[in-house]
Structure 1
Amino acid sequence: MRKILVTGGTNFVSRFTAEYFVKNGDEVYVLNRGSREQVDGVKLIQADRFNLTDELKDIHFDAVLDICAYSGGHVTALLNALGEFDDFVLISSSAVYPETNPQPFTEEQELGANSVWGDYGTNKIAAENALRERVPGAYILRPPYLYGKYETIYRAPFVFDCALSDRRFFIPESDRWLQFFNVRDLCRFMDIILNEHPGNRVFNVGNPEMISVKEWAELCYAAADKEPVLVRVDDNFTVRDYFPFHPYHYYLDVTKQQALMPELTPLGKGIKEEFDWYVEEKPEMYHRDYLGFIDREFSADEK
């Protein structure tokens, strides 16, 4: 049984991660403020990472999974508070690659500011740099759009709501290509890393195939046993007013990941699993008023 520390543990990726490793038979500690429901079976360390004193010093962790680091300061604060540990895995982001880099983005490319993601991307670069400086042997994972059970970002759930209400679905006139990764596959890959300790320390992770906006919407409707009526929206409209993705096309090379984990969750299956969870749990989500904008701007009789 491994002792594993998961930062967060109550929201989307960190919650799924905590649950995954508990079910895997590991002894899972979670670090959070204790303001939300905890995963069954975890050991709570109730604190903010910036206010830690000696809570972690006497625990030897076989692995630290930092799911919630969004800056160099986040990484440094956690490292300063830790005692001994063996492995460290940081969840970074594909936003660390400038959109001007040649695609598909590879792990060897130079990192830099991305005009679409702004501070989020540059802060993730700072987190990576802070970790590499202190822990050269740490692992860094750079995912594209993550999806799956416990998702709190109103992307697939927005389409589910449209499907359940038999609404038409509005997509940009210009084609957008999207790349996804199921949160379960992210956890499976972290598990592989902890078991096999590959020599490569930085991995792009994600499904190797891209998918069009149209295909993605069709898969989300199919999860509800519906078929969408798709309406293309003129590019003069701001995409983020009615659609849950940035007007940004990018493509990650995931060859190194595939060499270690060739079998992935089919996108249609993963979306269906998320839909079933969403319908059963009816989670509360905070999001832009996409439907209000659609009703005002595109069709007064939209239902």
Structure 2
Amino acid sequence: MDILVTGGTVFASRYTAEYFSKRGSTVYVLNRGSKPQSKNVIPIIGDRKALGNTLKPYHFDAVIDVTAYNSEDVELLINGLESFDKYILISSSAVYPETLPQPFCETMKIGPNSIWGKYGTDKIAAENALLQRCPYAYIIRPPYLCGPMNNLYRESFVFECAEQDRPFYLPENGSMKLQFFHIGDLCRLIEKILISDVKEHLFNTGYPVPVSIKEWVSLCYSIIGKTPIFKNVEAEIAQRSYFPFYKYEYLLNVERMNNILPDLTPLNDSLKESYEWFRNNRELIIKKPLIDYIENNLA
């Protein structure tokens, strides 16, 4: 296939581009050329907000849009394309209002979420803009993505705490649940959509069983042969000041995804891959001052 991946330089978009390139597709990546490109992809240097005729010479069997954050992003990209067969938008679980009963399923009405704010409403606008222009497009709504190339300061933060033999400051009793999805499984789902006659066009994704904060941290520590010593933090202290996730527990119903992708990468294997990548790419992590806050306010 000839595939266009938007972005292609960091985490989800880069992994996606390399995944399909390794499987024999001709992969084009659309970005501004400001970061190193992957091997075996064809860069198309351009800004999706000012494409002009940049994409007009091409026909794509599939467009995998990983970097659309609002309706304008979608509209301008579609306007810039000459022709394509399938369009897949990576959206977000942030489109579900936290007031809905859980687990959230694809048939529920989406709307503003007070935790995610503008990010969520912009993703809703992006979905709506896409469906107005391409009614048969595919939309994927993942929870927290994990796995290699993750440059966000999430599991890498926990790995650093483990490497430095730090006690881990746990939000309250650590029972809050997190739902993850391995980036490789996201790509395998996209692959199923591209090569199979998939009936549904909207998919929640994620591990069917969430993991508690305490379990997740313990898994991260165990990857490097450590066992965490936990210190509980009172609820009055803002969680995001010392921990990489919001104080927000939610669960996606992923039965629809499981019908076509039942075999997922175990979370422990995903964390192993994450740590191997992190060890060799520490400089790419977008660090936040979580450890500084802990040392100055909690330790």
Which amino acid in structure 2 is aligned with residue 230 of structure 1? Answer: F
In the alignment, which residue of structure 2 is the partner of 1:14? 13
In the alignment, which residue of structure 1 is the partner of 2:110? 111
Equivalent-residue separation in structure 2 for 1:160 and 1:13 (angstroms): 20
Q: Deviations 1:171-218 (Å, cap 9, x if unpaired)?
A: 111531000000000001000000113121100011111100000000
Q: CA deviation at 1:245?
A: 0.3
1:99 aligns with 2:92: no
Q: Deviations 1:77-106 (Å, cap 9, x if unpaired)?
A: 000000111000000000000000000000
Q: Deviations 1:97-142 (Å, cap 9, x if unpaired)?
A: 0000000000010111000000000000000000000000000000
Equivalent-residue separation in structure 1 for 2:296 and 2:188 (angstroms): 43
Q: Deviations 1:25-69 (Å, cap 9, x if unpaired)?
A: 000000000011101011110000011111211211000000000
Q: CA deviation at 1:297?
A: 1.4
1:286 aligns with 2:286: yes
Which structure 2 segments of 5+ residues have no match? none
In the alignment, which residue of structure 1 is the partner of 2:191? 191
1:275 aligns with 2:258: no
In the alignment, which residue of structure 2 is the partner of 1:178? 178
Which amino acid in structure 1 is aligned with residue 97 of structure 2? Answer: P
1:251-262 correspondence runs (5 A): 251-262=251-262
In the alignment, which residue of structure 2 is the partner of 1:298? 298
Q: Deviations 1:128-168 (Å, cap 9, x if unpaired)?
A: 00000000000000000001111111000000000000001
Equivalent-residue separation in structure 1 for 2:30 and 2:274 (angstroms): 25
Equivalent-residue separation in structure 1 for 2:236 and 2:117 (angstroms): 22
Q: CA deviation at 1:227?
A: 0.8
Equivalent-residue separation in structure 2 for 1:221 and 1:283 (angstroms): 21
1:146 aligns with 2:138: no
1:65 aligns with 2:64: yes
* Aligned-partner SS, 2:21: helix
In the alignment, which residue of structure 1 is the partner of 2:223? 223
In the alignment, which residue of structure 2 is the partner of 1:209? 209
Q: Report % sequence identity.
A: 48
Which amino acid in structure 2 is aligned with residue 98 of structure 1? Answer: P
User: Please, what TM-score do these two structures have when normalized by structure 2?
Assistant: 0.98
* Aligned-partner SS, 2:208: coil
Equivalent-residue separation in structure 2 for 1:19 and 1:61 (angstroms): 17
Equivalent-residue separation in structure 2 for 1:17 and 1:295 (angstroms): 37
In the alignment, which residue of structure 2 is the partner of 1:233? 233
In the alignment, which residue of structure 1 is the partner of 2:24? 25
* Aligned-partner SS, 2:284: coil
Q: CA deviation at 1:287?
A: 3.0
* Aligned-partner SS, 1:283: helix
Equivalent-residue separation in structure 1 for 2:196 and 2:284 (angstroms): 38
In the alignment, which residue of structure 2 is the partner of 1:5? 4
Equivalent-residue separation in structure 2 for 1:130 and 1:8 (angstroms): 20
* Aligned-partner SS, 1:78: helix
Equivalent-residue separation in structure 2 for 1:28 and 1:286 (angstroms): 26
1:78-89 correspondence runs (5 A): 78-89=77-88
* Aligned-partner SS, 1:49: coil
Q: CA deviation at 1:288?
A: 2.3
Which amino acid in structure 2 is aligned with residue 139 of structure 1? Answer: Y
* Aligned-partner SS, 2:283: coil
Q: CA deviation at 1:9?
A: 0.1
CA RMSD of aligned residues (A): 0.8
Q: Deviations 1:226-252 (Å, cap 9, x if unpaired)?
A: 111111111111101000000000000
Equivalent-residue separation in structure 1 for 2:278 and 2:285 (angstroms): 11
Equivalent-residue separation in structure 1 for 2:282 and 2:295 (angstroms): 23
Flag as ranges the 4+ runs of structure 1 deviating above 6 A.
none
